[in-house]
Structure formats: C-alpha cells, structure tokens
Amino acid sequence: MRLKDIGEFGLIQRFQKKISLNSSVVKGSGDDCAVLKFNKGSYQLFTCDMIMEGVDFFKTADFRLVGRKALAISISDIAACGGIPKHAVVALGLPRNTRVGQIDRLAKGLFDLARKFNINIVGGDISTSSKLILDVSMLGVVEKNKLCLRQGARAGDMIMVTGEFGGAIKGKHLKFTPRLKEARFLVNNFKINAMIDVSDGLGQDLGHILKQSSVGAVLYESLIPLSKQALDTEEALGSGEEFELLFTASRGQASKIIKSVKYRFKVIGEIMPESFGLRLINYKNKYSKLKFRGFKHF
C-alpha cells in the first residue's frame, strides 16, 4: 500500500489513532486549530500551515505575496475558531541559488501582514531545500464562550458564508485578507454553532463540518456567490483557496446576522439530518447528490 492509495485524509486518520493527549488539550487534531487550556476565561489556539512552491504557489509568484500568504493562512485558521492571533514562528526552506532580494521581499510580505494584525513573529528556522517552502506555526487566544469548532452544527441551522467562491487560483489565493474582523464580529454579537475557513473547496470543507457534527446539508445553487473568475458552480464548490468563512447558525440568529450592516454575510443552504447527506438544489429546483470533493494533496 502506498500513500496515493490512502490519500491525505487516510494518512491523517492513521496519525490520529496513534496520538495520545493529556488533560491540557481541549481539542486536538481535526479542527482548524488545536485548543489548549490557558487561563480561567480563555483557551489558547495553536495552528500550523505549510506552503510549497509548485503546490500552493507558482515559481513565478511575487515573493512578497508568497510571504504574505504563508502568514495569512494561519490567521485565517485562528479566525475560523473565533480567536485572535498573537504569536508566530516561521520556518523557511530555501534553494541555495535564491536571490537575497527575493528573500527580502518574502520577509516584507510576512512582516507587513504581521504588523497589520498585531502579530509577534518570535523566531523560526532556516534550511536548504530544492524548492521554496514556508511553514508558519501560530498561537492565538479565544474566550471560552466564543470558541467555534466544526462540530456544533445542528439540523435547522442556516449555512452562511463571507465573500465569493471560484477562480481563486487566478490571484485571490495570494492576495486574500483573512476574515478576522468578520469572525470576531460574529462571535462577539451572535451564537455561531460551527465554523471553518474554506481552503480546500466549499464542498469539501462543508463536509468536515457535516462529518464532525453528524449532520447533512442542502445547498442552493442560486444562492452560492460566484466570483467573476469562477467558471461555474461546480468549479466554485471544489476549487478552494478562497479562505472565506463558512459557518452555521440557528434560523433566528441567521436572520439577525443578515440584518447587520457592518459586514456582508450570505445564506447558501441549510443543515439537515445526517441521513440526508449533502445535496444541491439547482437552478431548475432539482436535487442532486454532492460529493465532498475539493483539493487533496495525495
């Protein structure tokens, strides 16, 4: 058996079976962040993300935008849990022939975004590599009563999103702004039952919420906001890299969220009983079953 036979999530499950946790861990592997005991009123959030040349960005990409993306992805994870990012360490794998000027641009992207979000970059590591690799580990905090995970969705919840979907590879994946302000607005003013950031595809990431919450869902094709770069709904459901928030809230809370004017949130579907699975109602008002498809590394 080879890695390609079990895939990314099969490999993750093999690791999860071997992990042993003590009482300091509130939530381990399987969410946007690990959740750790911290103090009386808050939890500590811990996440890491790696991006690699040829997988997460093209070799010709602006190094400033690459550095920016590396940090932005982890900020997005913290946001998806309702928290505030605080500290980060950055590990770099650099080819020997990389121009120092390019590395300066990479650092500028990292440090400029860190300043914007008041994040302290407190260390890291550097190694030689055949391709450019950036690995960011980040700590954040979240109030205990504002923590959002993937496992709290309930039948009857509205499924809501920020932003638009599809075509992110044409530029947005390097330039997106993490939805930290929107996430904090949500958890400060409403009861959010489950939340995730969309990195690997709207359908696949919704699938993580459905699996961990033991529920199903219906999406309405006419309500899914498509970007100008999106090819069609199918591409928007599976392409990923938008780093928008996908969350669920009760019908009453969703109504209040929609009426809020500070940010724009859209309803795209409804949480259903688990036996319903995942389905799409198309423009002709017909049901079709959806697969939890999106980007997979293997």
Q: 29-68, pLDDT tens digit by residue?
A: 889 999 999 999 999 999 999 999 999 999 999 999 999 9
How many Cβ atoms are within 10 Å of 169's Cβ, its own excluded?
14
CB 192 within 8 A of CB 265: no
Instruction: Kindly list the strands in the beta sheet with 215-220, ordered across the sheet, starting from the edge strand earlier in the chain.
Output: 194-198, 244-249, 158-162, 265-273, 215-220, 278-281, 287-289
| pLDDT value of position 79 | 98
- What pLDDT is recorded for position 18? 77
Residue 161 and residue 43 in contact, taking contact as beta carbons nearer than 8 Å: no
On whether the CB atoms of residues 195 and 80 are closer than 8 A, the answer is yes
Give the chain's domains with CATH numbers.
24-145 (3.30.1330.10), 148-289 (3.90.650.10)
Answer left, alpha or beta for residue 194, where phi above 0 means left and psi between -120 and 50 means alpha: beta
- Kindly tell me if the per-residue pLDDT of 147 is higher than 70: yes
Q: Do residues 218 and 280 lie in contact, with contact meaning Cβ atoms separated by under 8 Å?
A: yes
Averaged pLDDT for residues 125-135 = 97
Q: 19 pLDDT exceeds 90? A: no
Q: How far is CA 242 from CA 149, 168, 205, 298, in A?
A: 19, 6, 11, 20
Can you give the pLDDT at residue 208? 95
Condensed to tens digits (0 to 9), the pLDDT of residues 74-102 reads 999 999 999 999 999 999 999 999 999 99
Average pLDDT, the chain: 93
Q: Residue 298: its pLDDT value, please? A: 47
pTM for the structure as a whole: 0.94
Q: How many whole angstroms separate alpha carbon 232 and alpha carbon 237?
A: 9
User: Which of 73-77, 108-112, 216-220, 235-239 bottoms out in mean pLDDT, i.e. has the lowest?
Assistant: 235-239
Cβ contact 259:189 at 8 Å = no
Q: Which amino acid is at 236?
A: A
Tokens of 231: 């090819």
Please determine, for residue 297, whether its predicted confidence score (pLDDT) is greater than 70.
no
Q: What is the mean pLDDT of residues 206-226?
A: 96
Q: Identify whether the C-beta of residue 44 lies closer than 8 Å to the C-beta of residue 140.
A: yes
Q: What is the percentage of the chain residues whose pLDDT exceeds 70?
A: 96
Among all chains, which residue has been given the structure tokens 């009426």?
259
Is the pLDDT at 279 greater than 60? The verdict is: yes
Tell me, what's the pLDDT at 292?
64
pLDDT at 296: 58
- Judged by average pLDDT, the poorest of 85-89, 183-187, 230-234 is 230-234
Give the separation between CA 180 and CA 185, rounded to whole angstroms: 9
pLDDT computed for residue 37 by the predictor: 97
pLDDT score, position 293: 62
